[in-house]
Amino acid sequence: MSHPTANPQNHKTIKPLYIIGLLAILLHGCGKFLEEYSQDTDYVRTWKDLDELLIGDCYLPVKDSHFLNLTNNIGSWLHLLADEVEECQTSYANLAYGDHRERSFGYFTWQQRVGQNESYTDYYPENEAWTKIYYCINVANNILSSVNDVPQSSEVDQLGVHKVKGEAYFLRAFYYFWLANLYSKPYNPATASTDLCIPLKTSDVVEDRKFSRQTVAEVYAQILSDLTEAETHLSQYKTEKVSIYRADSTACHLLQSRVYLYMQNWQKAAEYAQKTMTEHPALQDLNVTTGKFSVKDNVENLFSMGGNDVPCIFDYVHQSFSVSRELYAAYTASDLRKRQWYWQKGNFVGPIRTKVNTMYFSYDATSSDFYSKAYAETQAQQEVSGLFLLRSAEAYLNYAEAEAYLGHETEAQNALNTLRKNRISTSANTQITATGSELINAIRRERRLELALEGHRWFDLRRYMVCAVQPESISITHEWTYYTSHTSTKMTERHRFVLEENDAAYTLPIPQEAIVFNTGMENNIRPWREYTVVK
């Protein structure tokens, strides 16, 4: 499958003069995540030059999905933090690969440092996603500082400048939003002005200094400002959408809805969700469509970028992970998502929403050669992101949740039931008639089922903790099994870890590499993670 705009090969096709002449950013493993070197924009002639740089270095490209390279894609571990994933408890013993699993140990068991290895003797790098995202932010900064200098004598040039500006602002906002929801406390209107967030930088000026952390309120203010700019410019560049891999004004509206929902600005969240539903109301009816869901031509898709290692996380092999059986059981028998999005064999549950190239994940629960099929198909590019994805179903959920908080229960029920009509068998009753707290519970439950394994659950659990309307927090239990070796099926011990309600570990620590380099930067306090031995 060839990615039309953000193929990793684009990095090779961009002329070196653009990278050397405009950007020249180096990000080192030592934590210099915002360090820049002098630049020269003489080689930038038109907006098209900046657009080429935008595609090649600001958008996250689709990555190879490969079992052994689980940590290569940005933030694959995000799927392991919440209650969607558990250890694979199966007797299947063919070809075990434990190396990738051990690199996930610190995230899966909520360690004080997420780079902690399973033997507590060393640490894996913690700043891979952090560094890559800040790299992309720096690219956006440089593009935005240069775009006004290119010729705008024709209407085509003017529209092109709007396009580049809009996408750069959109991406910078998306990146800061993603980082803020990993490395700072969830947005709480009562404490946002004092809670520490992440370092914020929006200029291309080289600054010889150590960086500190801005507050949650300051970072969210920047995110909203960037999205307002993105909306303005992308609204000027109105063309027929030809690719889900480039941002447009509708994608911007959905992201604005999400940001306002996290900020507990229910009115604005509902407003932008409504805009999204008006501009792109399409939902895929699972009563009619039985093909794979996570594909680029799904009518719900608004925007996608970045890798998707979800198929690789859930290999049917003993040193791997399984979709949570509790999550799987939460889908009713009449819920078409249960059979179209997942498959089960014994205690193992895996996702089957994804198509790779021209082949499908057509798992046969009775097949003895399952692993060879799965492994062969996961070494290819995915069409839709597992983290940076925007689709219309979220707009219905955002709208329902915001309206329920506002007390507009009829509007909330209608939005929720519109989505469910496309997910539940026509032979069953799809209507939600609950009110009050039960309606809110129903919306949150539907959000968990609909957006599973798309990078939402961890963020949702965090924001529910500080929600002014019906706050809630849950305890999550994960178990980690030790084997005699990475390729052994012999288990030696199993440890049980518990993330308590309102646990401080719901916020990740700032990567140690960044803390070391930026002397004096305050880190997030996380408790030492105790465990109990499971006999």
Q: Which domains does the chain have, with CATH numbers?
A: 282-472 (1.25.40.390)
What is the value of pTM for the model shown?
0.90
Calpha distance 230→209 (Å, rounded): 29
CA angle (243, 245, 246) in 5-degree steps: 80
DSSP 8-state class, residue 54: I
CA angle (516, 176, 168) in 5-degree steps: 125
Q: What is the enclosing helix (H) or strand (E) of 64?
A: strand 64-65
pLDDT tens for the chain, 535 residues long, are: 333 333 333 333 333 333 333 333 333 333 455 544 334 445 788 999 999 999 999 999 876 555 545 445 688 899 999 999 999 876 554 444 555 788 899 999 999 999 999 999 999 999 999 999 999 999 999 999 999 999 999 999 999 999 999 999 999 999 999 999 999 999 999 999 999 999 999 988 766 667 899 999 999 999 999 999 999 999 998 777 779 999 999 999 999 999 999 999 999 999 999 999 999 999 999 999 988 898 899 999 999 998 888 877 887 677 888 999 999 999 999 999 999 998 888 888 888 877 543 333 334 444 433 433 344 344 456 788 989 999 999 999 999 999 999 999 999 999 999 999 999 999 998 899 999 999 999 999 999 999 999 999 999 999 999 999 999 999 999 999 998 887 788 889 999 999 999 999 999 999 999 999 888 899 999 999 999 999 8
Is the backbone of residue 381 left (phi > 0), alpha (psi -120 to 50) or beta?
beta
Cite the beta strand spans of 75-117 per DSSP E.
Answer: 85-87
* Residue whose entry in the numeric block shows the structure tokens 């008006």: 278
Contact between residue 201 and residue 33 where contact means Cβ atoms under 8 Å apart: no
Q: What is the largest CA-CA distance in the chain?
A: 74
Give me the half-sphere count of Cα atoms (radius 13 Å) on the Cβ side of residue 37: 8
Lookup: tokens for 101: 């699993």
Calpha distance 169→141 (Å, rounded): 9
What residues form DSSP beta bridges with 350? 343
